[in-house]
A = this chain, B = another copy of it.
Amino acid sequence: MTAMLQIAPIANDKISARTRAPWPVLEGGKSMPADPLAAALQSIGAVLKFKRNAAVFNEGDPARHVYKVISGAIRTCRVLMDGRRQIADFYLPGDFFGLDWQSEHGFTAEAIADAVVVSYPRSQLDLIAETQIGMQRLLMSLLSKSLCATQNHVVMLGRQTAQERLAWFLLNLMERSDDNADLDLPMSRLDIADYLGLTIETVSRGISQFKRQHLIDVCGAHKVTLKKLEALEALANGESEI
């Protein structure tokens, strides 16, 4: 394999930061902290804003915060020396990221589109967890969900074809977007390619093929409607009829 020079430009301009959260931030940005856990989270959260392609944190940075997406979208990725890039995950409003319960972040986190994020100091979270069982459970469940998603990613990357990967990706995104078959793809084709372990051209061709097969409708590069869910699911689950 020769170098893949498809590196996204990375600007590092945090546009505003470290204002005390003026609104409750637990349930996807809704108002009213119902339970003590939400209140605790709210009290330690700081709102941050990032421009497109700005880094929230870099690989190797001390992992002192956990983050939650309020609006926009975040990607976590690693770039090899010759430019090959792998995206570990995408995070949409409501998702937590940066859950590296280690000394350092293992991946870089960047804004895919202009994003608003709340950061929670890990030291505080650990402290709360010592007394509030709810916090302990929340952290465990977040970590566990993240592990589960990453393991599914492994199966996909290790054993599925390009079309299967795409179907898997679209369906995953649908599930996270309140099961709405009209999808908004905030990320570029390059991001999708680097997430699925493919090239931008293969992703583009794959989408075109789905369009030709009437499995999806495409309306602009960032709007997709899933039309034949069953066919896509069969593909995504590797029930190969290739």
Interface set of A (CB-CB < 8 Å, partner B): 1-3, 78, 80-82, 84-86, 88, 99-102, 106-107, 129-130, 133, 136, 139-141, 143-148, 150-155, 157-161, 194-197, 237-240, 242
Contact = CB atoms under 8 A, between A and B. Distances in A.
A138 to B, nearest CB: 11
25 contacts: A3-B240, A80-B155, A80-B237, A80-B239, A81-B239, A82-B238, A82-B240, A84-B238, A86-B154, A86-B155, A86-B158, A100-B144, A101-B141, A101-B144, A102-B145, A106-B148, A106-B151, A107-B151, A143-B144, A150-B150, A150-B154, A154-B154, A157-B157, A158-B197, A159-B197
A62 to B, nearest CB: 15
A154 B153 contact: yes
A107 B158 CA distance: 15
B151 A82 contact: no
B239 A82 contact: yes
A241 B154 CA distance: 26
Q: Which 5 A-B pairs have the closest CB atoms?
A: A158-B197, A101-B144, A80-B238, A157-B157, A86-B158
Contact of A86 (B2, B85, B159, B239): B159
B240 A159 contact: no
B3 A102 contact: no
Contact of A150 (B3, B84, B151, B240): B151
Contacts of A153: 154
A163 to B, nearest CB: 10
Contacts of A238: 80-82, 84
A96 B111 CA distance: 34
Contacts of A150: 147, 150-151, 154
Given A107-B151, A158-B194, 5 more contacts: A82-B239, A82-B240, A84-B159, A102-B148, A143-B143
Contacts of A143: 101, 140, 143-144, 147
